[in-house]
Amino acid sequence: MIKVYENQIEKAIKALKRQLAKEGLLKELKRRTFYEKPCVKRKRKQKEARKKRLKAQRAAVPYLS
């Protein structure tokens, strides 16, 4: 929920866009604008899974100092 203080609508819109981007809604909306073929959808999901797996791996490995 975004609150508007002292009629600062621009700040509220900026905060709303930032929150939507963080949640991934803008990306999802753009993705659903056009039909996505099943083979493209499968490749996209594999790419997202690979990215998520690598990110988890990087977080699990402690850095040697």
Domain regions of the chain by residue span: 9-60
pLDDT tens, residue by residue, 14-43: 999 999 999 989 889 988 999 999 999 999
Other residues' Cβ atoms within 10 Å of the Cβ of residue 12: 14
Asked if residue 65 has pLDDT above 60, the reply is: no
Asked if residue 48 has pLDDT above 70, the reply is: yes
Q: What is the DSSP letter of 22?
A: H
Q: Which amino acid is at 39?
A: C
* Predicted local confidence at residue 64, as pLDDT: 60
Site of tokens 């899974």: 49
